[in-house]
Amino acid sequence: MINKKISLLVSVILLLMSSCQKWLKITPTDQFSASELFTNKDGYLKALNGIYVDMTASRSYGQTLSVGAIDALAHYYHINSSTHNYYEVASHIYTDSTSIRIFDGIWSSSYKMIADANVLLEKTPNSPGGILPQPYYSIVKGEALALRAFLHFDLLRLFGPVWTADKINVPTLPYALHSGTDLHPLLSPKEYLDQVIKDLEEAARLLADDPIRSSGVRHEENPTGDNSLYFRQYRLNYYAVQALLCRAYQWKQDREKTYSLAKDLLSEINPGPNSKFPFVSNANATHNTLKDRLFSTEVIFSLYTNNRNNLFNSTFSSILPKVQKLTFNLDNSDYSRVRELYDDENDYREDIWQLRTDNSITSLTCTKFEAIANAPGQYMMPLIRLSEIILMLAESSPLQAEGVEYLNTVRRSRNAVNLNPTDRNALLQFISKEFRKEMIGEGQQFYYYKRTQQANLPRIDRLTGTATMFLQNYVIPVPDSEIAVRSN
């Protein structure tokens, strides 16, 4: 329950770089009082880091909100047995105990991290100086606001209603603006999203001088020893905040504002060889041993995790039992689902699907998150990427020809041939398919389907074909514990 008295639990994170590939060294979790923690900039940075680390937990973005339940909701995987770990979730049986446990975990962990962000904001001085000078003041406050908005927004996208005129003004979810014990009032989706946007706009203002704008992502060790302003892909940096604003306005169905913001963002990022987020190179996408399957240079915001091998081994590995494995076809080499999704055999993205043989069983395995030592992006859990912004522009452009060109910009970056949809409906169908190829394991596809109110999704029980998706199945029930506390 989000009105419980919150004590700030933070993980002590040492910003210690031992190489370009190793960023965070985590010491055991400790509990600190505010008087111990918020005494200097290092304490503030530790508190901020603690929220990012909490986001990597398996019940949050470390699995459930990335490769796990959220992608099962999007019908990515072939789940044809009632004994599969995600059968109830993928079948939209939200009253089952398994589904309740998963979604209650998302709710409680997200609001706990929001409470931590609020404590950090409340302990941040009103102006820079003293214990928190610039540039750290703006970084800490800006990122804390961005985290609060990011976490709230995903709660809206998951537990909130489909965005329709009869729903957007009905009180639905609480937006936690403080860490106290008072019950946070329920806001309508419109009020709630306006608060998300308000937090993001203030975060963008504070992060206006983010070093990522002048120096790029800084994937190198600072020779002076202070790395707190480096490795900006692993933080809610200025560009990530702008991308979140694009997401928010797109969810609000404000096509014109989405287009304007995304256009400005893409213009500053400057796609091309000198971009801050360049498209994956052919050499890295096709490397024999160190393949960049995440297209890591394009990731605008990612969590840092050194548990990628554990994630792969517990979700995708070919040796897993059928009830646990996430794949397109379980224990066989049938490529039907792959062929249905990828229309060009030269597409870099298709290469994540590999035949693996273990214990005499050959099965199609998703290798996107398999950790490869020294490969690009080996510690990444991507949450925002460049292609999403370009596909936003393809969808929101007022001009058909421009929309098609944005669509083909993404396809060319993936070594796929151009397409030529002749009307808007055809363009939207192609955008939907490209988005599905891009976002496997990144937790965005279900939200895309919900926003666009898709009535038919790929079947989970067969390798081809579609099944009816009812609009009510896009809305996850608010936990009973939250309902109970509001009825007392």
3-state secondary structure of 408: helix
Cis ω for the linkage preceding 273 (within 30 of 0): no
pLDDT over 90 percentage in the chain: 82
Asked if residue 412 is part of any domain, the answer here is yes
pLDDT of residue 6: 39
Q: How far apart are CA 224 and CA 146, in angstroms?
A: 28
Q: How long a stretch of residues is the chain?
A: 488
Residue 185 has pLDDT above 90, yes or no: yes
CA distance 428 to 260: 19
Distance, in Å, from the CA atom of 90 to the CA atom of 72, rounded to the nearest integer, reads 5
Instruction: Specify whether the CB–CB gap between 44 and 140 falls below 8 A.
Output: yes
Planar angle of CA 403, 408, 413, nearest 5 degrees: 135
pLDDT greater than 60 at residue 7: no
Task: Please tell me the predicted confidence (pLDDT) of residue 334.
Answer: 86
What gap in Å lies between CA 394 and CA 183, rounded to an integer?
Answer: 41
What is the overall mean pLDDT for the chain? 91
pLDDT value of position 341: 94
pLDDT at position 484 over 80: yes
Return the half-sphere exposure (C-beta side, CA atoms, 13 A cut-off) of residue 468.
Answer: 3
Q: How confident is the model at residue 191 (pLDDT cuts 50, 70, 90)?
A: very high
Contact yes or no for 210/232 (Cβ under 8 A): yes
What sign does the CA torsion over 315, 320, 322, 327 have? positive
pLDDT at 33: 63
> Rounded to whole angstroms, how far apart are CA atoms 416 and 5?
53
pLDDT category at 51 given cuts 50, 70, 90 is very high
Domain-embedded: residue 1: no
The per-residue DSSP string of 428-440 comes to: HHHHHHHHHHHTT
Within a 10 A sphere around the Cβ of 33, how many other Cβ atoms? 9
Residue 5 pLDDT exceeds 70: no
Task: Dig out the tokens for 144 from the structure.
Answer: 């804390």
Instruction: List CB contacts of 99: < 8 A, sequence separation 6 or more.
Output: 88, 89, 93
Instruction: Locate 130 and state its tokens.
Output: 């003293």
Identify the pLDDT of residue 169: 98
CATH of the domain at 465: 1.25.40.390
pLDDT band for position 331 (cuts 50, 70, 90)? confident
Residue 269 resides in a domain: yes
Nearest Cα to 220, choosing from 210, 234, 230, 209? 230
* Model pLDDT for residues 346-373, shown as the tens digit of each residue: 999 999 999 988 877 888 999 999 989 9
Q: What is the predicted pLDDT for the residue at 1?
A: 52
Q: Position 334: which residue type?
A: D
The pLDDT of residue 34: 67
User: Residue 9: is its pLDDT beyond 80?
Assistant: no
Question: Can you say how many angstroms the Cα of residue 177 is from the centroid of all Cα atoms in its chain?
Answer: 22
The predicted model gives 413-426 an average pLDDT of 98
Whether 13 is covered by a domain: the verdict is: no
Show the tokens assigned to 54: 């909490």
pLDDT digits (tens, 9 = 90+) for 310-320: 999 999 999 99
Mean pLDDT of the region 392-404: 99
Q: Which has the closest alpha carbon to 184: 486, 478, 479, 487?
A: 486
Strands (E), 59-185: 173-174
Kindly state the average pLDDT of the residues 329-350: 90
| Mean pLDDT in residue range 5-22 | 34
The residue-averaged pLDDT of 33-52 equals 90
**If you average pLDDT over residues 387-393, what whole number do you get?**
99
H or E stretch at 140:
helix 136-159
**Cα–Cα dist 126/58, whole Å:** 35
Residues of the domain holding 79:
36-215+228-306+373-487
Q: How many Å apart are CA 430 and CA 436, to the nearest integer? A: 10
Number of H helices, E strands in the chain: 18, 12
Answer for the pair 214, 34: CB distance below 8 angstroms, yes or no.
no
Strands 466-468 and 9-10: unpaired
433 within domain boundaries? yes
Per-residue pLDDT of 192-233, as tens digits, reads 999 999 999 999 999 999 999 999 998 888 888 788 899 999
* Residue 250 pLDDT: 99
Structure confidence at residue 411 (pLDDT): 99
Mean pLDDT of 152-163: 99
Say if pTM beats, i.e. exceeds, 0.85. Answer: yes
Count of domains observed in the chain = 1
Please report whether residue 359 resides in a domain: no
327: in domain: no
276 contacts 420 by C-beta, under 8 angstroms: no
| 73: in domain | yes
Q: Is 70 exceeded by the pLDDT of residue 76?
A: yes
Quick one: pLDDT at residue 17? 30
